Amino acid sequence: MSYYYRGYRRGRYWGAYHVSKRRHLTNLFGGIDQDIERAFFALSSSELEALFMVYGRQYGKSAEAYARRTYPQWKSGAVKLSGQTAERLLELLPPRLSKEQRYELIRKLRKHYLKRTNEYVATPPETWRQRVIPAVEKVIRASRDFKLPQELYEKATWLTDGDTQAVHRILHSIEEEEARQRTAYLDAEFKRIEVFVANIKTTDSASHTISIPQGDIHVTIQKEKTTLLQSIFGSRGTTMSGNSHELVSREELQKALVLQQSRGNLLKLTLDDLSENQKIELREKILEEQIGLDVSQAKADQRFHNSTRDMASTIQAVRSLEQSSKSDYEVRSTFETASGNTDITVKKNNNTVIIVIAIVVGIILFLLLSK
């Protein structure tokens, strides 16, 4: 009985060890071990036979015999792949998969480790470029310097081959290309914010978030401080009619169009570095990525035009509210733009004006009485 209990306890701990090792492997490889497991069960009989032979040469005949014997139970789910077996498959199977399958494995692995970063910037709308562009470049630079952890290369040596590095270059160029697409309208977008704030003096707060594949840049728009006289009597900003195109000048739109015309250049330069064999083997994936970039650009264009229209409508709505009501009001608006989101809050509080007037009157009376 004691011997049985000790054996049971050893078996339980050994099983827990393998479960823990498999969990660690899944975390380490971002879940691609599960994709490889599915690919393992989808192999044809000839492919499976070839893999078992390589498995035996690499890990010994007893390991091969166990794998052959246990394969039906693995496939049915009656027995779970141990961490050790999954790690061995991570090393042996990917080189025998198609280039498209490996491409997706590397994409998933890169996404797991390439953590999106955040930058926070505060700037007046007129001088945004001096502060925002360096923040955007900083976020993109983190992607350029990206490398997988060394432990992955030790456990999966196929990650060091030329084909894998070619996929990394393609994915990196796509990330930068999409960032370029989303930021093509930045000049026009910040000009819109500037015009909005200039037209609506009751703008309480404005912010813009630039979302690119590498991370987010959170921009707080610093308003010009309102003078005492402006608080009492108000001020007249730049006038704008109901035409939404007046939010963005022709020159700003032209800049964005010029940037759009250069899209795809980064991906093209990367493809020029690939061998002819790599281009042929990855042509379907490359075509998918190019189509994806075109779709992304079309969506960005549409978001820009929609948000320009909606911002102009909001300006007109606030003006109408100002003319038709003397009561306090608050208008919160979020605009989905080409590069991310613009959030603007317009607020009027008559109590503030009354308090300011009372303070001014008090100061005047104090000065008169003190003479």
Task: Looking at the structure, tell me whether residues 318 and 265 fall in a common domain.
Answer: yes
Statement to judge: residues 77 and 150 lie in one domain: no
- Does residue 367 lie in a domain region? no
Query: Is residue 352's pLDDT more than 60?
Result: no
On whether both 81 and 130 belong to a single domain, the answer is: no
Does residue 313 sit in the same domain as residue 282? yes
User: How confident is the model over 38-52, as a mean pLDDT?
Assistant: 96
The β-bridge relationship of strands 340-348 and 329-336 is antiparallel
E strands present in the chain = 117-123, 203-212, 215-221, 329-336, 340-348
* Whether pLDDT at 257 is above 60: no
pLDDT above 90 as % of the chain: 47
Is 153 a domain residue? yes
Q: Is the pLDDT of residue 134 over 70?
A: yes
242-274: burial string, b at 16+ Cβ within 10 Å, e else: eebebbbeeebbebbeebeeebbebbeebbeeb
Query: Mean pLDDT throughout 278-294?
Result: 76
Average pLDDT, stretch 271-295? 73
Q: Are residues 150 and 273 in the same domain?
A: yes
The answer to whether residues 195 and 276 belong to one domain is yes
* 273 located within any domain: yes
- Hey, CA dihedral for 33, 39, 42, 47, is it positive or negative? negative
Does 110 score more than 60 pLDDT?
yes
Q: Strand pairing partners for 347?
A: 330
Name the residue among 138, 134, 100, 132 with its Cα closest to residue 116.
138
Judge whether 105 lies within some domain: no
pTM above 0.85, yes or no: no
Q: What distances in angstroms separate CA 113 from CA 9, 107, 145, one per listed residue? A: 37, 10, 12
Residue 290 vs residues 140, 173, 294: alpha-carbon distances, Å? 20, 11, 6
The DSSP secondary structure of 87-137, one letter per residue, reads HHHHHHSGGGS-HHHHHHHHHHHHHHHS--EEEEEEE-GGGHHHHHHHHHH
- Could you say which of 37, 63, 96 is where a domain stops? 96
138/233 same-domain check:
yes
pLDDT of 350 strictly over 50: yes
For residues 122-144, give the mean pLDDT: 90
330 — pLDDT class (breaks 50, 70, 90): confident
Both 57 and 171 in one domain: the answer is: no
Residue that terminates a domain, selected from 64, 96, 128: 96
For residue 106, is it within any domain? Answer: no
Tell me, what's the pLDDT at 225?
Answer: 60
Answer yes or no: do 90 and 163 share one domain: no
CB 221 within 8 A of CB 125: yes
Render pLDDT for 167-191 as a digit per residue (tens, 0 to 9). 888 888 888 889 988 999 999 999 9
Confirm if 321 and 333 have CB atoms less than 8 A apart. no
Chain segment 14-29, per-residue pLDDT in tens: 556 667 888 999 999 9
> What average pLDDT does range 353-360 have in this prediction?
57
Please indicate, yes or no, if residue 80 is contained in any of the structural domains. Answer: yes
User: With bands split at pLDDT 50, 70 and 90, how would you rate the model's confidence at 40?
Assistant: very high
If asked whether residues 347 and 287 sit together in one domain, one would say: yes
**Looking at the structure, do residues 206 and 62 belong to the same domain, yes or no?**
no
Task: Determine the pLDDT at residue 115.
Answer: 86
Look at residue 363 and tell me if it is in a domain: no
The pLDDT value recorded for residue 91 is 95
Q: Residue 34 pLDDT > 50, yes or no?
A: yes
Q: What ranges in 262-282 are assigned the alpha helix state H?
A: 265-272, 276-281
Shared domain for 196 and 234, answered yes or no, is yes
- 111 is a domain residue: no
What is the Rg, in whole angstroms, of the alpha carbon atoms belonging to the chain? 31
Grade residue 293 by pLDDT with cuts at 50, 70 and 90.
Answer: confident
Task: Look up residue 273 and give its DSSP letter.
Answer: T
pLDDT score, position 325 = 73
Tens of pLDDT, residues 185-241? 999 999 999 999 888 888 899 999 999 999 999 999 987 665 544 444 444 444 444
The residues facing 343 across adjacent strands are 207, 334
Last residue of a domain, one of 35, 67, 96: 96
Q: Is the pLDDT of residue 329 over 70?
A: yes
What total of structural domains would you count in the chain? Answer: 2
Q: Could you list the residue range(s) of the whole structural domain that residue 282 is in?
A: 117-357
Q: Whole-angstrom Cα distance, residue 53 to residue 55? A: 5
